[in-house]
Structure 1
Amino acid sequence: MTSVLTRPPVDLEVIFPAFNEEHRLPSTVSTAVDHLARCPWSSAVVVVDNDSGDRTHDVLDGYGAAGVEVYAIGCSDHGKGAAVRRGMATSSARFVGFADADNATPFDTVDQVMPLLRQGHAAVIASRRADGASYEIEQSALRRCGGWMFRALARLTVPDIADTQCGFKFFDGPLVREVIDDCRIDGFAFDVEILARLARRGHRATEVPVAWSDVPGSTFSARRDGLRSMADLIRISLAR
């Protein structure tokens, strides 16, 4: 693991935003590194520690493989959106994106993503509602209800996207670095803002199906974060 802010350019950088993820992060990073080491493109893994209070930063020691560097950077601004933007803004990769630390989306989904990015797609995102997708482990009834409400509001801004909230999204690097300059949402609706600003520039996201699993330990709280996310979606729909 290397703790630096500026990093050499690669074909693909994968960002893992992390807040108190000392238990789930090691296996997720290991899975990502092992897979990327077998891929024909150059790549790196970047963990953005979002001001964690546990050993998130320390557990990354010893990770990495030939041709796949693991970097750790910090982000003192709280919120998943702030952490992801920090990783993207400091990247010089041709393609850049993020995945969740819980590994709910199988990492080998990247094998579907990269060919599409290379063909010129501006954004390629994992989807639990695209044709061929499935739920390996279903969410709780409360989370499903909250997800339905979130999707209904998200469609006000990005009506063509079936699933805005699967935590596995990748982008053309230079383009997304331009777009995030105007992004302000730090909470869990941050990726809807990115997709909305891309859409306003005429760039549509491409969805790829995944076999998704609900994983215990999410930092999202329906009570604490739900209302804020709904309010953020309204802000996004009204922004220009």
Structure 2
Amino acid sequence: MVFALVRPEVDLELIFPALNEERRLPSTIAATVDHLCERPWSSAIVVVDNNSADGTHDVVERFAHAPLPVYAIGCSDRGKGAAVRRGIATSSARYVGFADADCATPIETLDPVMALLEQGHAAVIASRRAPGAYYEIEQSTLRRCGGWVFRRLARMSVPDIADTQCGFKFFDGPLIREVVGACHVDGFAFDVEILAHLARWGHRVTEVPVAWCDVPGSTFSARRDGLRSMADLIRISIAR
């Protein structure tokens, strides 16, 4: 494992924000390494440890001799948004993005995403609501209801984006590094803030369909994070 805030430039850097992910992270990193090694782009993986209390760091050490760089950096500010911004802000890659440690979005989705980025698209995100997308494993009824409310509020800021919350988003590197410098939401509404800034700056966000699986073990808590996320969405919508 290499701890590195300053990293060599590559074509693609893939960020995994991680909070207590020692169980789910190993298979996700392994699958990602295997996939990236078969692609023509130069690539690196960055795990942003968001103050984990388990063996997340030990997991990353297993990939010290992987055929492509697997870096680890820390983020003392709690929240997935803070961790993602930390990874993006310290990147020098041509393209940079993030994925969830649970691998709910198949890593193969990266192929059409990269094709679009290389064609000049500024932001390409996986979508569970784009034409052709489907759920291989559905969410619980409670999560679906909460998602409906979240989407209604998110549309106040990004009315043209069908799915703001699928955890698989990739961007033009120089552009997104500028965007995250203007973002402040640390919690689970951070995606909406990033997408809203892109839209306000005149950049189109492209959605690609995904075969998505609901994977147990999410760190999102409806009781702890739900009201905060809703409040963040309202703040984002009025910060025009």
1:54 CA drift (Å): 0.6
Aligned residue for 1:32? 32
1:5 CA drift (Å): 1.1
Aligned residue for 2:161? 161
Asked if the contact 1:34/1:65 (under 8 Å) is kept, the reply is: no
Q: TM-score, normalised by structure 1?
A: 0.98
User: In 2, Cα distance between the equivalents of 1:175 and 1:3?
Assistant: 25
Aligned residue for 1:144? 144
User: In 2, Cα distance between the equivalents of 1:5 and 1:179?
Assistant: 19
Aligned residue for 1:192? 192
Aligned residue for 2:132? 132
Aligned residue for 1:65? 66
| One-letter code aligned to 2:66 | A
1:52 equivalent to 2:52? Answer yes
For residue 182 of structure 1, give the secondary structure of its aligned residue in structure 2: coil
Q: Residues 1-240 of structure 1: matches in 2 within 5 Å?
A: 1-63=1-63, 65-66=66-67, 68-240=68-240
- Counting aligned pairs with the same residue, the percent is 77
User: In 2, Cα distance between the equivalents of 1:13 and 1:195?
Assistant: 19
Can you give the 5+ residue segments of structure 2 that lack an aligned partner in the other structure? none
1:104 CA drift (Å): 0.2
Aligned length: 239
For residue 82 of structure 2, give the secondary structure of its aligned residue in structure 1: helix
User: In 1, Cα distance between the equivalents of 2:26 and 2:235?
Assistant: 35
For residue 144 of structure 1, give the secondary structure of its aligned residue in structure 2: helix
User: In 1, Cα distance between the equivalents of 2:179 and 2:132?
Assistant: 30
| One-letter code aligned to 1:187 | G
1:3 CA drift (Å): 1.2
1:62 CA drift (Å): 2.6
| One-letter code aligned to 2:230 | M
| One-letter code aligned to 1:42 | S
For residue 165 of structure 1, give the secondary structure of its aligned residue in structure 2: coil
| One-letter code aligned to 1:158 | V
Asked if the contact 1:37/1:65 (under 8 Å) is kept, the reply is: no
Q: TM-score, normalised by structure 2?
A: 0.98
1:208 CA drift (Å): 0.3
1:61 CA drift (Å): 1.4
1:204 CA drift (Å): 1.4
For residue 26 of structure 2, give the secondary structure of its aligned residue in structure 1: helix
User: In 2, Cα distance between the equivalents of 1:137 and 1:206?
Assistant: 24
User: In 1, Cα distance between the equivalents of 2:41 and 2:25?
Assistant: 23
Can you give the 5+ residue segments of structure 1 that lack an aligned partner in the other structure? none
CA RMSD of aligned residues (A): 0.7
The runs of at least 4 consecutive aligned structure 1 residues that moved more than 6 Å come to none
